[in-house]
Structure 1
Amino acid sequence: MIAAVSDNLGVRPWTSAQLHVPVDACPGGMMSQQPVLLPYDDPAFVADPFPLYRQLREDGPVRRAVIAGGLDAWLVTRYEDGLAALSDPRLSSDVRDASDPRLIAQLPEFERESMMSNMLRSDPPDHTRLRRLVSKAFTARRVADLRPRVQEITDRLLDAVLPAGRAELVADFALPLPVTVISELLGIPVDDRHDFQRWTDTMIVRGERMPDPAVVNEAWQRMRAYVTTHLETKRARPGDDLLSALISAHDEEQRLNHDELIAMTFLLLVAGYITTVNLIGGGIAALLADPGQLTLLRERPELLPHAIEEFLRYDGPVNPGIARFAREDVEIAGVTVPRGATVLVASAIADRDPARFAEPDRLDITRQDNGHLAFGHGIHYCLGAPLARLEGQIAIGTALRRLPGLALAVPPAELSWRPGGLRGPVRLPVTFTPAHRAG
């Protein structure tokens, strides 16, 4: 899913003592107007952030929060305000519009050099040009043509675990499926996939502590070197894949410069799989925690498209939301956000806004009116949404069909979740009735 990966600023687990930022409680449990710290060092919050999210939304439509590196952000918590903010041209996707130089300084060295050129971090006219170059690969028709291959990969992965009657569905299934699909779309050799996946985890995935910058920079260097070498190989032996088309746009049509070509390749590799892993793993986890919805989807598989949208709304893979930067003073819901401020459109909070969704804290796979913000909105709406939906439907639908008796192998409270930015289960151990492989 080409989603808000570099576009997303997850709140990191800094404590008030580290930041010297007071967070006080007002009578009745209302938060003060000091910047709120989302407590990602608290396992209970990481497992279920939504009670605090609900409180923040009830406190007011725009709240200051402390994000990565001790930076302030303005958290937009309500649906209508978030929808408007995501299409407001005064809110930029380019981090260079941010007033705090630490935002750029804390990026890995190699990201500062070239990754600023990707389309998630650009605005028109550059964004329009870059998006147009890859949009044809992700049309609904082109994605539909991938269905037989996605189904084949899905069945092969499930065949490997069926005889055992148990699996770890992230490592065994939710991760390798989208990695394989995006690799084939880009013409990445099979033997190289584990390397770029490992580098991506180092660069993107965050735990309870900020990573060592030297380690992150080394991963960036290795990824950049790999991408450069792979592009040269493709240039010498082009194929019928998206990267060959992008190389042509650089070499012959001069619609991409070198940094843009590197950045686009990285973006497609990383964003093409990392959030879809969490959609599949998170969707299955949500079903296994709600036996009634699980039974309903087994009995009525035609509800699967609605179920995917509900998983995205209920507990989507981007959490808490999508970052923008104010080009000028902007009024949002009566609050003036100053020029240069970071605005975090909290889609995970807005998608449970009771003013927009009935019974928003209830998983309901029959929900019809489900215009969630998990894919964003406006010109940066997720380019890979059709592919993410296809992979999610095939993966979850096939798992329910081919894994009878599917259940968690541990109590739900023992599942561990990614602490911020990109949300999903780290591991998903399950049991099911053993069966023979297909065929």
Structure 2
Amino acid sequence: MGDVIDVEEFGAGFTANPHPAYARLRERGPVHRVRLPAGDGYQETWLVVGPEEARAALTDPRLVKDTARIGQAFLDDQFIGKHLLTTDPPQHTRLRGLVSRAFTMRRVERLRPRIQQITDDLLDAMLPLGSADLVESFSYPLPITVICELLGVPDLDRAEFRRMSTEAVAPTSAASEQDAFTRLGAYLAELIEDKRSSGPSDDLLSDLIRTVTEDGDRLSAGELRGMAFVLLIAGHETTVNLITNAVYALLTHPDQLAALRADMSLVDGAVEETLRWEGPVENTTFRFAAEPVEIGGARIERGEPVLVGLTAVGRDTGRFPDADRFDIRRDTRGHLAFGHGIHHCLGAPLARLEARTALRTLLDRAPDLTLAGPAGPWLPGTLIRGVRHLPVRW
């Protein structure tokens, strides 16, 4: 892939603030070959930063997720199993249909009182301290507790799981990434076997193990591992950073914080604006050209990787005037923070419910909430957008 643009040429500090570099790319055109930081190295890929081109790429069947179709294999395939983020139709359609039977809006809505209770319990423990790392005390334990209870995961070693999951989605090195996937694969296999042997129970993972279609189709062992991986990892990592990014955005924009405190009906707007302005997923996972594809005037050859820049599209000034301004009253329709097309995030309703509950309750119970120091560091890589720590006091 010649003529590659190194995004770090646009200035230092890309990981902490990639938005100026993405703006420069949008000025140059909708699709580029780029070199992005990745753990302890770099990765070269096509990056789609134009909004219309992004929507087209997200629905183009020639851009595939299953690397076997181009003769490659990723760590997911080796240690986890096929899942929603690594398959295409008809396999993806089948898998999504099976999980959709269990992961329903009704089940999510039934979680509302429990999400509120978990939120209150966390704040009961945190608020008497006067200050805390919001990530450690609130943003992480809330969604991990919810998803573990939803799946029926008993007594998870959350500190260890946090290290594994974060390393899987924001690796610091190739070796540590492989180690994380190896350990996650072993953990999920043991978890599923324990579920099978413990008898019937009313949780999502048990439902997935029992789910059988009218023609007898069911999830294989590898597919169960893959489904548990997606639900457990994606089901909390994105929400951790959605909550943290929302609080950080509000605390660094006092006018918007004041507006929300004055009218808590704006909480939905605050969540959606965070998704647009500093969403928890910076770029999609990889797609690959199964045949030569032209997008935005760029010819992408068979086998070449493609990322869709969700963060870059969220700051597009053509769609969102004054796009670098954080405005919770903005019309955010059209943001792609949860993706688009057949890979649109299955857990979007749950993430929104958790984020709204977290913001509303935190701001109500901590009226003097403010930053207690600098946030950071920002997570490495260009998949997950968020900080490891957010010190706050009240």
Common topology (TM > 0.5): yes
Shift of 1:70: 4.7
> Partner amino acid for 2:6?
L
Q: Deviations over 1:41-88 (max 9, x none)?
A: x87322211111101110111110124465431111111110111011
Give the counterpart of 1:145 among 107, 110, 127. Answer: 110
Letter in 2 for 1:242: L
> CA–CA distance in 1 between the matches of 2:263 and 2:245?
20
Aligned to 1:113: 78
Partner of 1:429: 391
Q: Letter of the 2:379 partner, please give it.
A: R
Large movers: runs of 4+ above 6 Å = none
1:256 aligns with 2:225: no
Task: Note if contact 2:80-2:184 (Cα within 8 Å) is conserved in structure 1.
Answer: no
Distance 1:386 1:365 in 2: 19
Residue 96 (structure 1) aligned with residue 61 (structure 2): no
For residues 266 and 80 of structure 1, do their structure 2 counterparts lie closer, same or farther at Cα, with a shift above 3 Å needed?
same
Question: 1:44 pairs with 4, 7, 13, which one?
Answer: 13
Cα-to-partner distance string for 1:317-348 (whole Å, 9 max, x where unaligned): 11134421111111111222112211111111
**Where does structure 2 lack aligned partners over 5 or more consecutive residues?**
none
Map 1:17-416 → 2, pairs under 5 A: 34-39=3-8, 44-67=13-36, 68=38, 70-98=42-70, 101=72, 104=73, 107-108=74-75, 111-207=76-172, 210-211=173-174, 213=175, 215-236=176-197, 237-249=199-211, 253-411=216-374, 415-416=376-377
Report the Cα distance in structure 2 between the residues aligned to 1:200 and 1:140, rounded to whole angstroms: 26
The C-alpha deviation readout for 1:112-159, integer Å capped at 9, x for no partner, is 325351111100111011111112444333212111000000011011
Instruction: Give, in angstroms, the shift of residue 384 of structure 1.
Output: 0.2
Unaligned runs of 5+ residues in structure 1 are: 1-20, 22-32, 433-439
SS at match of 1:318: coil
Task: Report Cα offsets for 1:145-198 as digits up to 9, x if no partner.
Answer: 111000000011011111121111000000000000000001011244444333
User: Relative to structure 1, is the Cα distance of residues 322 and 348 closer, same or farther in structure 2, using a 3 angstrom cutoff?
Assistant: farther
Which letter maps to 1:94? D
Structure 2: distance between partners of 1:419 and 1:172: 22
Q: CA deviation at 1:303?
A: 0.9
Contact 1:279–1:392 (8 Å) recurs in 2: yes
TM-score by length of 1: 0.83
**Structure 1 position 203, deviation (Å):** 2.7
Q: Which residue number in structure 2 is paired with residue 9 of structure 1? A: none
- Contact 1:92–1:123 (Cα < 8 Å) also in 2: yes
Quick one: which amino acid aligns to residue 323 of structure 1? F
**One-letter code aligned to 1:228:** A
Root mean square deviation of aligned Cα: 2.3
Contact 1:98 1:341 survives alignment (8 Å): no
The TM-score normalised by the length of structure 2 is 0.92
Q: Given residue 184 of structure 2, which amino acid in structure 1 is its aligned partner?
A: M
